[in-house]
Each structure stands twice: as C-alpha cells, then as structure tokens.
Structure 1
C-alpha cells in the first residue's frame, strides 16, 4: 500500500463494517447541489449528546470512514459522514464541467452539513473530525462558529515545500505536474483508474496543484477570501486538536502548523505521534482510520471530543506553540 494513496475498501468489507444503525441521506447545498451521506442517530434525542460531522480527505469517499463513524456512535455520539460534490455519494453522471473547488467543498458542502446537523439534531453540540483537507474545510463554512470541538488528522493545504524532504520531488511531480496535466487532458482528474484516489473535479485539482503557501493564494481561496474580507477562518472558536504522524509525507510539522495558524481564534493543540509510539513501523497519511487502530489511536480523538483535552496516557508528544 502506498503511503500517498488511500487503500481500497471493497464493498463486502464495508457492509461488515457498518453494524450500527446507519441511514442514508441527501442534503442540498445552498446552490442546489445535492450531497449524499450516512448518519448514525440514537433513538432518543438528548441535547447533551454531541453530533460529530466527519470531513473526508480530498477525493476520499466518506465510506472510508464508516468504521470510525460506527466507533464514535458506539461510544455515545450521533454521527454524520458525507461526500463532497463530485465524489462518491455526491458524484453526478459526469465530472466534466462540474463547478467544484476546495472552497465549494467547505463553504457550500460542509456548510450544508452544519445546517443539517442543527436541523436534525437541534440543540446538540456539534463536533468535527477532519482528515487532511477535511480539517481545512472547517474554517471555510459560514456557520463554523457553531462548532464546539475539532479533531484533525494530517490536516494541511498540500503546499509542496512542506512535504517530507525525502519524497518532496516525487510528490511535486505526481500531484503538482502530472495531476494537473491529466486534468487538462480529461476535463477532470481520472484518479480512480490510476489507483491514486477518486476521480476529482478540475477546480479541486487547480486549488491543490497551485504552488502557493497560503490558502488565499489558491484560485478558489482568493475568491472566498475576497468575499469574507480576507478572513474565512475567523468564525472558528472551537478548541482544535491537530494530530500528525511522523511518517506522513503530507503532514509534516511545518504543514500542520501552517494550517493551525489560520485558527487564530481557537485554542490549538498539535499532537505529533511516531508509529513506534504505538508499536508500529508505519501509519502514514491514511491508516489512522483503519479499524486495527481502534484501541491505540481512535481513543485520542474520542477523549478530545468528550473532554476537550488530551489524556495523559496519549502516545506522542505535544508540539510547543510558536
């Protein structure tokens, strides 16, 4: 399995991974685009029970997180997962010409999930778990001020100079040269046939591949920053836990800290874990959400969402705030 691409999860395994009461849903975004997802809902409403929204990584289907969602549900949370427009449950017949960017995924799609959570789970605290770009999306929604707590894993803006030094040039060629070239050829990125990730809308590729260190330097980031007076993250006041793995070539300390700097109105904690801290040789960018880590890594997020602080027994070290 490549550290740079999510592993495949066959449908037969996914069926076994969803023993909880998952239900499908459709939710229109503000521009009318219909998003698809899954929800876990306890039979009795409880205003003290948080609902967790899981934001996926770029072009990773929400089905990838079903085991983790079921784990949160089994531990007392209501849960929602969904796909961004153009991906998985939210994919139209064709991606050619589809209007979709990182900003659309955050300001429209994640915003729609926040609105749904407020409507379907009225009065309940809203927490968010964000993987990779899913952590960035937190700051792009207009209703982000409603979020109580955030936990991210490997969350960053894919700035190439932040990639792990030993893999930087290979990753630059793959994600910032080859990916946009193939996107121009096909009208979208055919990631699935390459085994890299899901097929991806062209606007998302432009945002990812633009070699700029700041979000507002990406094409859709410039537009959203202008609309929000340059501060799309200003509404977030939730306590943020950023988890990174030392063998994640995307989630280096520099990359994680670059994103955390945007959450200037939030208490921020960066937990850096080496695979050896949990008796492993590798974890990388994707494996955190594998069920084999349900007793070693998942409790870190569970404890954060419950208490808003790290348990003293957590593996890894806290990176000092600059």
Structure 2
C-alpha cells in the first residue's frame, strides 16, 4: 500500500522538483514535520522505508530529489545546469516552504544525509528550521578521508570528473557505486568544496554571496559512524565549526555496539539497520 503522496515542489527560479509527502500515522502527531534532504546523487526512494517508519512515530515527512537527480532531472543529464549551490539556495528553501504549507507547522526539522545536512549556511529561509540532524554530515574534506575513499577521491575529483565533463558532459559516479550520475557542475563543485576545509564555505564570494552560517543558532547534531570513510571525526568537526552560534553535538555510532559489521556512510537508512532508526528519532525532539 502506498502511504505517500507524490507532489511537485516549485522553486523560486521556476524549477520543479519531485517530492513525496508521508502523512503521520498517529492521531497525536509531533509538532514539527521532518524534511529529509538527500545525499549527493541519492534519490528520494532510498529513504522510503525510513520515512514510512517515521510516520508511525507521529511525524509528517517530506522527501525529495535535488534538481538534476532522479525524478528532478528534466531532459538529458549532460544538459543539466544544476549545482550544489542551487541545492542550498533554491531547492532546500522550496522544500521547507512546501512542507510548512502542507502541514501548517511553524518550522521543520531538517534531517539531512551527507550533503543534505551540509548546506544550511546558504539556505535563505534558515529561520524556518527548528533543528538539524546531519546523518553522516561532514565537510568531506579530502585530507580527512579514510580507507579506500582516501585513495579514490583524488582520482575521482582530479581525473575522472574533469575528463568526463569534456567527454560525457556529466560526472559518472554510478559506475563506481556512488549513487546517480551527477550534473557536471554538481561534480565540479563537489570536488572544489572537498578540496579545502569548510565545504560550501569555499564558494562564498565566488558563486555564493549570502552567508548565513554565523546567524544560525538552532541545534545541529551530527550522527556519524566510526567506520565512515567520508564523515570522519575530523570532517564532522570541520562542518560543525562553521556554525559558531549554534548548539552543536556529535554522536558517534560504533557498528559492533549495534550488532553490525559495518554502518559506513550509507547504511543508517537501510532496513537491515533499522535498529539505528530509534537512535536518530531520539534526536528529533525539540
């Protein structure tokens, strides 16, 4: 049985995003709805089981695809002009407003996965966010990576992406198991943002001219796993330092403690790791 409503999210620049609204399944629903902002190249379908579970906990939930990804890609990928900056400046704000309109709530809880939890500092309507839960949220700074990702990232950022931009017109991440193929500017900005500490802070004064990091004072909690090769402890700290006036917190999960061999960067939202969902849900309270 389908328990979500497919809807369109209209951005300020006229771009239309694909979203899914999951109404809560309890009579005493929670005060703030949850906006699930996806990781780079990950579609809204990936979060369906988790979103459905959240509705049984009393939450209204909205998930969506960033422009250039999944059902929010209009036309050939190589023609997409989507960028990470647009995700933060246009897509997330529109999703916030859509969810507030749908629920008549005053604010949302932003539950961001990886990149989805890293962009609040350039979101114009950040005041409408009551709290941020950044799952696997970090800056992804290349020097802070671990394991195979530390070896793969320079090759992907410095060789594969620049060559593919010319030969294919997009970032070929699907072939290396890193989600959907990416619009060329998304791939380029991802490489640029991760090349130095601070992630999107590296765009300030270049492609971003409104910086809200210092104005944000809502709680920001990063939940990360000890075996995550991207959201390492160093990179999580690098993200949270960008919000000097917010009450920030780090919660580290150890796979063995939850009877898992691995959690990594992607598994927290999988049904196989459902025993972690209550850990995330406990942090949603405002």
Contact 2:133 2:222 in 1 (8 A): yes
Q: Distance in 2 between matches of 1:43 and 1:282?
A: 31
The match for 2:19 is: 37
The match for 2:125 is: 143
Find 1:234's aligned residue among 200, 208, 214: 214
Task: Tell me: CA distance 1:194–1:275, structure 2 relative to 1, closer, same or farther (3 Å).
Answer: closer
| Matched residue SS, 2:35 | strand
Deviation of the 1:282 alpha carbon? 1.1
Deviation of the 1:48 alpha carbon? 5.5
The match for 2:284 is: 305
Contact 1:59 1:200 in 2 (8 A): yes
Matches within 5 A, 1:71-110: 71-110=53-92
Q: Distance in 2 between matches of 1:198 and 1:137?
A: 20
| Matched residue SS, 1:244 | strand
Deviation of the 1:152 alpha carbon? 1.1
Contact 2:25 2:56 in 1 (8 A): no
Deviation of the 1:221 alpha carbon? 4.5
The match for 2:247 is: 267
The match for 1:11 is: none
Q: Distance in 2 between matches of 1:216 and 1:191?
A: 20
Contact 2:24 2:57 in 1 (8 A): no
Contact 1:21 1:40 in 2 (8 A): yes
| Matched residue SS, 2:213 | coil
Q: Distance in 1 between matches of 2:212 and 2:83?
A: 15
Q: Distance in 1 between matches of 2:29 and 2:213?
A: 27
Task: State the superposition RMSD in angstroms.
Answer: 2.2
Contact 2:33 2:105 in 1 (8 A): no
Deviation of the 1:215 alpha carbon? 3.0
Contact 1:46 1:124 in 2 (8 A): no
Note if 1:279 corresponds to 2:263: no
Note if 1:190 corresponds to 2:172: yes
Q: Distance in 1 between matches of 2:176 and 2:55?
A: 34
Find 2:4's aligned residue among 22, 27, 33: 22
- TM-score (ref. length: structure 1): 0.81
How many residues of Structure 1 are paired with residues of Structure 2 in the alignment? 284
| Matched residue SS, 1:204 | helix
| Matched residue SS, 2:40 | coil
Deviation of the 1:72 alpha carbon? 0.7
Give per-residue Cα distances to partners, 1:31-67, cap 9 Å, x unaligned: 0010001001248998953210001000111110011
Q: Distance in 2 between matches of 1:101 and 1:124?
A: 29
Which ranges of structure 2 fall in alignment gaps of 5 or more residues?
Answer: none
- TM-score (ref. length: structure 2): 0.91
| Matched residue SS, 1:266 | coil
Deviation of the 1:236 alpha carbon? 2.6
- Once the two structures are overlaid, the 10-residue window that deviates more, 247-256 or 236-245, is 236-245
The match for 1:214 is: 198
Deviation of the 1:151 alpha carbon? 0.9
| Matched residue SS, 2:100 | helix
Which ranges of structure 1 fall in alignment gaps of 5 or more residues?
Answer: 1-18, 309-322
Matches within 5 A, 1:101-180: 101-164=83-146, 167-180=149-162
Task: Tell me: CA distance 1:138–1:123, structure 2 relative to 1, closer, same or farther (3 Å).
Answer: same
| Matched residue SS, 2:206 | helix
Contact 1:107 1:142 in 2 (8 A): yes
